[in-house]
Each structure stands twice: as structure tokens, then as C-alpha cells.
Amino acid sequence: MGLVTILYRDECLLVVNKPPGLLSQPDHSGAPDVVSRGKEMLSGETEGAPFLGLVHRLDRPASGVMALARSPEAARELSRQFRERLVEKRYVVAVEGTLQGIGAWTDYIAKPDRQPRLVDPDHPEGKRAALDWQVLESSSARTLLQVTLQTGRPHQIRLQAASRGHPVVGDDRYGASDSLPDRAVALHHVLLRADHPARPRRETFVAPPPTHWSGVLTDAMDTVLHRMLDREQPS
């Protein structure tokens, strides 16, 4: 399991690059999680235990940008932005098989037995799941996608891709043929763009993917990905 690295910090925010295998927040299992690791990083900066508010989540096997609020006020403001869909969330995803061009997927997801699954639109617990995708590079075996979420549902990208015959690389839960280190999946939250919770400015946070991605991507995919990272880095 990799280390949590800090991308940005101030009195309102702690933004980190989450490694695969880490929970977003504590649960009954006691497994390592981002919130607890973040509090350890901030220990000694404030009197008493530091506050860290969770305002969004990433699946345990996924990686990438996570923004944590360092005050209740910041948590409320960031939560409002996520709720009103004012936050841009961009992912890079390697899937099995070949896709071309651009597209959009809309489905419905429910958790009738606490496990996310696609359901019919008229399912009583179904919630709309929508995303846009664009091919960055492809080979005969895999495709590197840029995905922009319009909604944020549990396992959304993984379910929607797998249901179309293109499981995320490493995602054996949803039919992938290969596994990755740390039971990771090749799904990385590469960019988060939101208004600062206390200042009148738009912030952009960009996270490089885990090192094991070098074994997932072709040379052409790796080149395209790093060009995108360089282009999106805040000046």
C-alpha cells in the first residue's frame, strides 16, 4: 500500500493523493483510511485533535485527489458545492478492450443488498448515474479514457464500464481478466476543480497516478497521460 501524499494544505483544506487500497474514512474493520492518515499528518499543528471533514469519497481500490475540510465551515461549503454539482471531477481510467471517440453513459444504480448494482430506471431505489468519456489513447487490448462524472454514485465508473464489456483494468470484482498490485484498479481521480471554501478563487488540484500504472499503459498512453498532467497543473 502506498503513502498518502499532500498536494495542498492551508487553514481550510488538506488535499491529498490517495493510494489504492486505502479506505476513504474509518469503518468497523479498522483498516487504514485517508481521514486517519490525514489527522496524523496534521498532528501538532493545532491544539487537540485536528478536525478533518470528509466531503467526498473514492472507492478503496481507486486512487487520486481527495479534498478534506479542516473546519466545519469549510466542510459545509465544500459539501454544498458537491451537492450542487459545482465541482469538476475528472478521472483517467484504463479499461479492457477498444473504444473510440467520445461518448456518454447514463444508467441507474441502487444498493438493494448494500452492494451497488445497475438497475432499471423504474427501480424504487435507483439513482441516475451519468458520465462523459473521451478516448485518450487505445491499443488492441486496452483503452485509456478521460472520464468526467456528472453524478457521484458508488462504483459508478466501474459498473458502467463493465456493463458495456469494458471492465476497468484490475477490477476482478466486475469481470477484469488481470489483477494489479494492492488489489488496485486502474481508476484514478486525476483532477478536482472547486471554489476555495473561504476565498474568492477557483482551485485546481492534480494528482499523478500510482507508479504501477507504468505496467498498465502502453508507451503511447503514458505519453498522452503525462502531457495531460503537465497541461492541467496549476501555474
Q: How far apart are CA 32 and CA 75, in angstroms?
A: 22
User: Is 59 a known active-site residue?
Assistant: yes
Rounded to 5°, the CA angle 90-62-86 comes to 30
Dihedral pair phi/psi, residue 196, rounded to 5° = -60, 135
Dihedral angle, C-alpha 74, 59, 187, 234, nearest 10 °: 10
Cα-trace Rg, the chain: 18
Residue 137's CB: how many other CB atoms inside 10 A? Answer: 18
Distance CA 215, CA 217 (A): 6
Say if residues 185 and 61 touch (Cβ distance below 8 Å): yes
For residue 219, how many other CB atoms are within 10 A of its CB? Answer: 9
Q: Which of 59, 120, 122, 222 is catalytic?
A: 59
DSSP H helices in the chain: 34-42, 72-83, 156-163, 219-232
Joined together, the cell numbers standing for residue 99 give 473504444
Residues 17, 206: Cα–Cα separation, whole Å = 9
Give the residue numbers annotated as catalytic, written as ranges.
59
